[in-house]
Structure 1
Amino acid sequence: MTAVSGPVSEALAELPLVDHHCHGAVTADLTGGEFASLITEGEAWPGVSPFDSPVGVAVRRHCAPLLDLPRHAPPADYVARRAELGWQEVNRRFLTAAGAEVFCVDTGYAPHPVTSPAELGRAAGAAACEVVRLERIAEAVAARGVEADGYAAAFRGAAEEAVRRPGVVAVKSVAAYRTGFAFDPAPPTGAEVTEAAAGWLTRGGRLADPVLVRHLLWTAVELGLPLQLHTGFGDADVTLHRADPALLTDWLRLTSGTVPVLLLHCWPYHRQAAYLSAVFAHVHLDVGLALHYSGPARCRAVLEEALEITPFRKLLYSSDAYGVAEFHHLGALSFRRGLAALLQARVDADELSLADALRIAAWAGRDNARRLYGPPVSEPARDPSGRPTRKV
């Protein structure tokens, strides 16, 4: 997609974004194979390079210049230049290029050594907040040892302790991966939780019991913080049709009037998510992850479909970047260009006033997230003079 010009594009280019859901960037230099594995959500493809995919092409086109390479640089040159610069400089370049004033960092997924929220913020010259993944809390409680009849109280106590940490602004569940969303929407009874906990604690492994996942989600509501839910597109661990957010409809009815529910990523169910955001006051969504995997060439189409009926105060920006800092940058670039193109087209067709388009751009890129999560709660990185390196 060719970048559009005009006041909407200019406003979005200058807008400090709030990336309301992302992960850390790796803290090690990567081989070609390691880098390739991090730019796909799938398994290794024998004889096929992940560079030969929409996201791989987008990396070579839009990220290579930030490494002082020509556009469309060959993969071997790209990986070699990355190694030459070193991971610290690579992270700094891409994270600052993202132009975010705040990163909300999910710390519950780290199969590789990655930056903490504070380290990510320092590299970007931005503020950073934490999103607590509740399944990880539950599994830590089980690993420490607990009796089945004490599990519910132990999990609640550990979750409350976690969300009291400085900088925590939200909680997250990956129920979509563990059980899918076709669960009994009612809160389980204490006896049901105890029985399910007895089985899980005997079996071991990760939390995937439907009763305990329901208990986790209802505990999240009681904690009172915004609740992020992975939906739709993810790695091969998700059974996609069970991650359709429309399956949450009955649960959303029961939780109406409680905490904000943020439906993350959503593709290919972004139209279902849009419906839910239109009919439930507490439901919001983003199309993160799909942004950089579709890239600037197609992100406008994804955003247009998401915005067919989504109320404009309900769409948020996220990158869901993990591992390679290219994705923090590419998600932001795709979002800015895609949203600018569709809003400008509506202005040109006299379907939107310019003033409305500028408001919608600011809402989606920053203000909707600030309304839900509050202002930044960690200080931005500062230069040696003590001045913030990015205005927050």
Structure 2
Amino acid sequence: MGAVREALDALELVDHHCHGLVTADLPRDAFEELITEGGTWPGISSFDSPVGLAVRRHCAPLLDLPRHAPPDEYLARRAELGAQEVNRRFLAASGTGVFCVDTGYAPDRLTTPAELAGAAGGTAYEVVRLENLAESVAARGVEAGDYGDAFQQAAHEAVRGPGVVGVKSVAAYRTGFDLDPARPSRTEVTQAARRWLTRGGRLDDPVLVRHLLWTAVDLGLPLQLHTGFGDNDIRMHRSDPTHLTDWLHLSGGAIPVLLLHCWPYQRQAAYLAAVFEHVYLDVGLTLHYVGPARARAVLAEALEITPFRKLLYSSDAYGVAEFYRLGALAFRHGLAALLQDRVDADELSLPDALRIAEWAGAHNASRVYRLSGPS
């Protein structure tokens, strides 16, 4: 084991984008549903995928099972221990001390940020999902002409809540990023709100999504944007973050913009981070789906031109605590191997490698979100 790996293994991570965990015990079908973005299909098990193999290889020992334990044995042991103990073990094994929790997607009963922090023995903050907020404004009843102001007021009130450190948009799911980058006028917002409120449903009007993004600029907090990989609701070609280039110019660096996940657009995200002062990225979610065996390759592409102060760690863990373990393991080992090879080739000094590792694993997020601790 090299010096960089030792340092990263010992580093307490800041997970700048994650979700709560299911608190109920999970039958096999529910567990398999939670470890895939693609859904489950008859005759095809989620265990027969890169992430399924990674769960059996790297998570089974934490349940007192041999590596590569068969799925039925794995799930039986998981049920025997119970959700609370399973969550505690995997959170502890992740070595994460700080969690920035997106509370906007919760079809299941999930741990709150406080409950997650308690289970991990760490600290948790909240990230407010803006689409959910807009939909709650509509659900309460609002006239089309009042929607724009009502949403802005609700957003300003939400971010004043205790422990809120950022906001998030899932515009990539709703419209994609190939939008008119300009701030919409009040008249445009009213007309779009009238169309949306009449038909109902989720917020997917391009004008109102633009209004949401510009409201985020006005809030002044870091804005997380889902990019790239997600479930089949995504139109992948429209989630390429380079579609945001004109909007990034117009918004003028008013807030940090954090590109989440990014695969297969990690190189495009790296370009944006290299040319815009206020753009940052991670490859969270990606790493546990490709597994520790391929994490280095993804990180290598993300770091080809990214300034070292611009890469952050996230797990994007949701529902099952295994993803906290796998995300952290893949990040630590992938980044350590990449940096150690550069040290061994004399392309990088060991002190520089250790500094880059600490920045990516914790300090960059602490600085961007203005968290307490080293920056």
Superposition TM-score tier, normalisation by shorter sequence: over 0.9
Q: Are 1:236 and 2:253 an aligned pair?
A: no
TM-score, normalised by the number of residues in structure 2:
0.99
Moved more, 86-95 or 251-260: 251-260
Stretches of structure 1 lacking an aligned partner (at least 5 in a row): 378-390
In structure 2, the residue matched to 1:381 is none
**What letter corresponds to residue 104 of structure 1 in structure 2?**
C
In structure 2, the residue matched to 1:125 is 121
Q: Are 1:45 and 2:38 an aligned pair?
A: no
Q: Verify the 8 A CA contact 1:256 1:280 in the aligned structure 2.
A: no
Secondary structure at the aligned position of 2:8 is classed as: helix
* CA deviation vs aligned residue, 1:168-202 (integer Å, no higher than 9, x gap): 00000000000000000000000000000001000
Distance 2:370 2:326 in 1: 25
Q: Are 1:277 and 2:277 an aligned pair?
A: no
**What letter corresponds to residue 55 of structure 2 in structure 1?**
V
Q: Are 1:92 and 2:88 an aligned pair?
A: yes
* CA deviation vs aligned residue, 1:300-341 (integer Å, no higher than 9, x gap): 000000000000000000000100000011100000000000
Shift of 1:101: 1.1
Q: Verify the 8 A CA contact 1:128 1:376 in the aligned structure 2.
A: no
In structure 2, the residue matched to 1:309 is 305
* CA deviation vs aligned residue, 1:329-355 (integer Å, no higher than 9, x gap): 110000000000000000000000000
* CA deviation vs aligned residue, 1:282-309 (integer Å, no higher than 9, x gap): 0000000001001111000000000000
Secondary structure at the aligned position of 2:101 is classed as: strand
**What letter corresponds to residue 157 of structure 2 in structure 1?**
E
Equivalent residue for 1:141, pick from 137, 145, 156: 137
In structure 1, the residue matched to 2:19 is 23
* CA deviation vs aligned residue, 1:154-177 (integer Å, no higher than 9, x gap): 101111111011100000000000
Stretches of structure 2 lacking an aligned partner (at least 5 in a row): none
Q: Are 1:151 and 2:147 an aligned pair?
A: yes
**What letter corresponds to residue 121 of structure 1 in structure 2?**
A
Distance 2:147 2:258 in 1: 27
In structure 2, the residue matched to 1:57 is 53
In structure 2, the residue matched to 1:74 is 70
Which 4+ runs in 1 deviate beyond 4 A?
A: none
Distance 2:41 2:264 in 1: 22
Secondary structure at the aligned position of 1:18 is classed as: strand
In structure 2, the residue matched to 1:387 is none
In structure 2, the residue matched to 1:36 is 32
Identity of aligned residues (%): 75
* CA deviation vs aligned residue, 1:22-44 (integer Å, no higher than 9, x gap): 00010100001110111000021
In structure 1, the residue matched to 2:243 is 247
In structure 1, the residue matched to 2:175 is 179
Distance 1:266 1:252 in 2: 17
Shift of 1:376: 4.5
Q: Are 1:191 and 2:210 an aligned pair?
A: no
Q: Verify the 8 A CA contact 1:142 1:201 in the aligned structure 2.
A: yes
Distance 1:342 1:305 in 2: 11
Q: How many residues align?
A: 374
TM-score, normalised by the number of residues in structure 1:
0.94
Distance 1:31 1:43 in 2: 15
In structure 2, the residue matched to 1:106 is 102
**What letter corresponds to residue 224 of structure 1 in structure 2?**
G
Q: Are 1:344 and 2:344 an aligned pair?
A: no
**What letter corresponds to residue 235 of structure 2 in structure 1?**
T
* CA deviation vs aligned residue, 1:90-123 (integer Å, no higher than 9, x gap): 0000011111110000000011111000000000
Secondary structure at the aligned position of 1:264 is classed as: strand
**What letter corresponds to residue 71 of structure 1 in structure 2?**
R
